[in-house]
Every structure is written in C-alpha cells, then in structure tokens.
C-alpha cells in the first residue's frame, strides 16, 4: 500500500465560547485543529484522513485549545426570571463542500432554568458540491489502476 504524507497546519482559533457559568467566576474556551487543505479546497484532518493519506501534524506546535477567565454577575443578583443570552455567531462550517453543519449556542443567564434549547444546528448554506471525479491537471492527482485488480493507487504530488 502506498501512503502519502501531507503537511498539517493550524486552523484559526474558533471564537471564544460563552462563559461556563451564569453567575460568579468561570472560564471561556476556544480551540483550533491541525489540518491540510488540498488543491480542491477540501479540508483533511485526523478525523477525515484516509488509510492512504496521512496528516503529518508535527508542524502544528502549541496547544489545540485555550482557556481564559470570565466574570459574570454575582450569583445573588441573578435570582430573577429565566432569561437567555443572545445567540452566539454561527460556528465555521464542518465541511468545505457537500453536506456540512454549523452550530450556535446561548446560555441561561439566571439561576432559574430557562425553557428551550441552548444549541441550534443547521445545514451550511451555499456549500458547493464535492468533486466526484477531480479533473486531471499537471502535478495533481494520478490514478494508476491495475488491470484485473481491485487495487487503486493514487499519488498526490506536492508542489
């Protein structure tokens, strides 16, 4: 079996999460992931790599997530009727083509429980279809199919 190792690099950090508490002191988190973007603008990470395409994440140095402190109103002041915070911005799409999803969150800002969901998920709008048979270009992807065999070997040339 032929393997192709592709170089990884960090994605941008996500937006800071909402504070993990509704009153008092808490923290927020944000994260990033090591990935590779190919010539068709498809994202490959550890969860989407194939047996033949291996992500080399050695170049992704440093933490994958960060935390920071956040301060909410004192807990005694939060004894009021249930109320939701505004919705966060939509997260980045989970795919660069085909079917992907986005999520956004909100938090209950009071001690009393809020009715409804704190997470919304939707299909990403306006994603292009994924290529089913990428066009052959110079130094791109070569498909060497062996006759009378079920094995296909693909070479990805990195410029």
Report the mean per-residue pLDDT for the chain. 77
Q: How far apart are CA 150 and CA 21, in angstroms?
A: 55
Q: What is the CATH number of domain 4-156?
A: 2.20.100.10
Average pLDDT value for residue range 116-143: 73
Reduced to 3 states (helix: H, G, I; strand: E, B; else coil), residue 145 is strand
Residue 145 has a pLDDT of: 44
Reduced to 3 states (helix: H, G, I; strand: E, B; else coil), residue 142 is strand
Q: Which of 84-88, 108-112, 147-151, 152-156 has the highest mean pLDDT?
A: 84-88
Residue 106 has a pLDDT of: 93
Per-residue pLDDT at 97 exceeds 50: yes
Q: Are 134 and 124 in contact (CB under 8 A)?
A: no
Q: Where are the domains of the chain?
A: 4-156
Residue 113 CB partners (closer than 8 Å, separation 6+): 82
Residue 17 CB partners (closer than 8 Å, separation 6+): 28, 29, 30, 105
Residue 143 has a pLDDT of: 47
Average pLDDT value for residue range 34-40: 76
Residue with tokens 């990195």: 158
Q: How far apart are CA 107 and CA 109, in angstroms?
A: 6
pTM exceeds 0.95, yes or no: no
Residue with tokens 């920071």: 68
């Amino acid at each position: 079996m032929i393997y192709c190792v592709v170089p990884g690099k960090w994605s941008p950090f996500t937006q800071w999460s909402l504070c993990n508490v509704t009153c008092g002191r808490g923290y927020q988190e944000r994260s990033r992931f090591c990935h590779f973007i190919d010539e068709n603008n498809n994202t490959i990470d550890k969860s989407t790599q194939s047996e033949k395409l291996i992500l080399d994440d050695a170049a992704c140095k440093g933490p994958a997530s960060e935390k920071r402190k956040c301060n909410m109103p004192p807990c005694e002041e939060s004894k009021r009727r249930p109320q939701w915070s505004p919705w966060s911005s939509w997260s980045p799409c989970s795919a660069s083509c085909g079917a992907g999803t986005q999520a956004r969150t909100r938090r209950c800002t009071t001690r009393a429980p809020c009715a409804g969901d704190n997470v919304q998920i939707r299909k990403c709008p306006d994603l292009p279809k994924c290529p089913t048979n990428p066009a052959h270009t110079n130094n791109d992807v070569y498909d060497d199919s062996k006759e009378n065999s079920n094995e296909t070997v693909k070479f990805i040339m990195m410029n």
